[in-house]
Amino acid sequence: MTYDLDAPVVRRRCATALAAHPARGRFVALAVGPADPLADVARTVERQALGHDATALAFENSPYESQSLFLLVLDRDTGLPAGAGRVVEGGGRALDDAPARIGRDLSAIVDAHGLHDGGKIWDLATLVVLDDDAGPLLHRTLLQAGHRAGVRHVVALLDDRTHRDLTLLGVPFTALAGAEPAQRAVYVSFAEVEPAIVAQARRLSRPVGPFAGEIRARGLRRLLTRRTAARVCDQVATGAGLNEHIQMPGLERRRYRSLKTKR
């Protein structure tokens, strides 16, 4: 496991994955487990995006590695990653760090969002879009993976850009335990995400009227941006033109182990 792959190694691993992926088109997406060779590609993107030291980041994330699922979008044109993400089953660092950041006890957070109901919890630990054209596929992969994994609750400590992008997509975040966001400490019920994105697509498709999030452009550019955002929301919600580019070997292996255990 490493957070600091050399560029030639990144290229080789991406080339291998692209050659094996059955879908054609510019972008392909995968959800892989923590021991997959592509997981280190995602870790390297994560480190570069965060700007952290590789050794320090490996130490900080060591308690969460075995519960991590990595999302990766690859670009056939460049042969490189175009986006990456990590989710951590069980709440990860979001639940570990949130109490100190927002001034709420963990028990208060659990009670506020019904996290004690036995439903699967994901910490949306990182989500990095390196190419805006890859954003819809990365977001759709997150949705598909959540459905496949049976996720019920999502918690996160988001940076401003990720919070802004996901809010414009329509994700109905609420402040964790009602506290004003400290580093955007947020919660969302996974079952509410897709319907909310559908509703956001409808709102944005109209030339005027309220919508979640913000578009800073003005005049004609604002209208064009609004229409583009509506199309993105519709695509992410329905998977049209995206689902065939997604593979989730990390979840398939976990699902197979679960079936064997039940037998």
Q: What is the pLDDT of residues 109-158, one digit of tens each?
A: 999 999 999 999 999 999 999 999 999 999 999 999 999 999 999 999 99
pLDDT at 183: 59
Residue 8 has pLDDT above 90, yes or no: yes
Q: Look up the domain containing 141 and give its range.
A: 7-252
pLDDT at 262: 43
pLDDT at 235: 98
| Contact indicator for 55, 15 with CB cutoff of 8 Å | no
Whether 86 is in a domain gets the answer yes
| Contact indicator for 93, 87 with CB cutoff of 8 Å | no
Whether 38 is in a domain gets the answer yes
Each residue of 58-68: pLDDT tens digit?
A: 999 999 999 99
Mean pLDDT of 209-219: 96
Mean pLDDT of 78-88: 99
Mean pLDDT of 43-60: 96
Residue 197 has pLDDT above 70, yes or no: yes
Whether 2 is in a domain gets the answer no
pLDDT at 181: 62
Whether 174 is in a domain gets the answer yes
* High-pLDDT (> 70) share of the chain, %: 95
* Structure token digits, residue 246: 């997604």
We report the CATH number of the domain holding residue 128 as 3.40.630.30
Residue 254 has pLDDT above 60, yes or no: no
Instruction: Count how many domains the chain has.
Output: 1
pLDDT at 258: 45
Residue 20 has pLDDT above 70, yes or no: yes
Question: What's the chain's average pLDDT?
Answer: 94
Residue 260 has pLDDT above 50, yes or no: no
Strand ordering across the sheet containing 68-75: 174-175, 185-189, 151-157, 120-129, 80-89, 68-75, 27-32, 246-247
Whether 123 is in a domain gets the answer yes
Which runs of E-coded beta strand occur in 99-150? 120-129
Whether 261 is in a domain gets the answer no
pLDDT at 22: 86
Residue entry with tokens 């060779």: 37
Which residue, among 256, 119, 248, 263, has the nearest Cα to 187 in the 3D structure?
A: 119
Whether 263 is in a domain gets the answer no
pLDDT band at 5 (very low <50, low <70, confident <90, very high): very high
pLDDT band at 252 (very low <50, low <70, confident <90, very high): confident
pLDDT at 206: 97
Whether 1 is in a domain gets the answer no
Higher model confidence: residue 263 or residue 6? 6
